[in-house]
Structure 1
Amino acid sequence: MRKYAYGWITVAFFLVSIIGHWVFGWYAFVDAARDHGQSPDLNAYLVEMGRDTFENWQSEFLQLLWQVVGLAYFLYAGSPASKENDDRMEAKVDLLLKLSGTDQATIDELDRRYLRVDGHAKPHGHHV
């Protein structure tokens, strides 16, 4: 549970906000219907709130979701931008290993074990 606390907190914020949006939207819908001398209709409310919710999601939620999740995925999956510092560190470690007298076979074994090819580590190599 603690490992995914950020995700659970995010889900809780989402549920509280969406429920609040729909509950307070119902009160506003009822008030608007009364102002026009009509009785509130649940079907009309569901259509209006569904439209408003998806309109908000398109302009805000999906955009933010793409920015956060998309960028995090590409950073994790190994876009060229995410590897700049790793590649530099790998090159330094290789040089230190060679200067310390480590044989090339050991370096090659480490590269194979951690899915490193042509000086670049591939994602998920630490699980091998």
Structure 2
Amino acid sequence: MASRLLRQNSLSIVFLLLFLAALVGQAFAGWHQFNAQQVSEQLGTISFGDYLTSASFAVDVAENWQSEYLQFLLYIVGTIWLIQIGSPESPSAPGLGTEEDHKIGEYAEPDSPKWAKVGGFRTLLFSWSLSLTMLAIFLASWTIQSVAGWAAFNETQLQSRMDTISWGSYLVNADFWARTLQNWQSEFLAVGSMAILAVYLRQRGSAESKPVGEPHDSTGATDGE
């Protein structure tokens, strides 16, 4: 039973373990980097536990999370209406599709999720639950980034004997937008590259690739079936 559970969920489990390993590695590397900077500025060092609860660590983590979930949100919503000819992740035709296409309401199957069958607000909410969840996580991590970044910025200001600023002022500060946009641009580049490279390149066995012999202009997962 345990081996079957691991096999059936191996993709999510592997990425969860990779995430945890990378997060721990980031924490230790960030701690050493932070203390090295403190020493260079003739300031006191902090313990690993103190670093984990510091604004510096929080902002470094949150700024990456918010950009990742923004990427997913825009890609999920964008692929409803936008097309990339030849991409396996592009719809062959734009739009929300019909209830029959999505097996909701009267077209639901016996094993369809309950909220796909009931109709009304619950089915509408379930129909948008993926993008709404991505939006909620993005907004939460963006808020954490802004607050933690504000605290870290003001700590630096105090160490330099300069005036602190309000959270509202930090939201229009270059420090906040430099942190934010350096992550956004890399995510947008990665998504755009994936969309266009998947038109002409293949990876045998991957669900993110068309079948190796599929024509370049074959668009959407359904075209490759």
TM-score by length of 2: 0.32
2:58 is matched by which residue type in structure 1?
G
Distance 1:82 1:18, change over 3 A: farther
Distance 1:14 1:64, change over 3 A: farther
Partner residue of 1:95? none
Distance 1:5 1:58, change over 3 A: same
* Structure 1 position 34 matched with structure 2 position 39: yes
1:22-61 to 2 correspondences below 5 Å: 22-42=27-47, 43=50, 46-59=54-67, 61=68
* Structure 1 position 63 matched with structure 2 position 70: yes
Hey, what's the Cα distance between the residues in 2 that align with 1:48 and 1:116? Answer: 49
Q: Deviation per CA, 1:46-79, whole angstroms, max 9, x where unpaired?
A: 22111221122112x22244357x56xx9xxxx8
Hey, what's the Cα distance between the residues in 1 that align with 2:98 and 2:64? Answer: 31
Hey, what's the Cα distance between the residues in 1 that align with 2:46 and 2:98? Answer: 52
Distance 1:20 1:81, change over 3 A: farther
Aligned length: 88
Out of 1, 9, 13, which is 1:4 matched to? 9
Q: Deviation per CA, 1:16-53, whole angstroms, max 9, x where unpaired?
A: 11111111101101110110112213446622111221
1:80 is matched by which residue type in structure 2?
L
TM-score by length of 1: 0.52
Partner residue of 2:19? 14
Q: Pick the structure with more helix per residue.
A: 1
2:63 is matched by which residue type in structure 1?
E
1:92-103 to 2 correspondences below 5 Å: none
Give 5+ residue unaligned stretches, structure 1.
Answer: 88-113
Give 3-state SS (helix, strand or coil) of 1:80's partner.
Answer: coil
Partner residue of 2:96? 80
Partner residue of 1:106? none
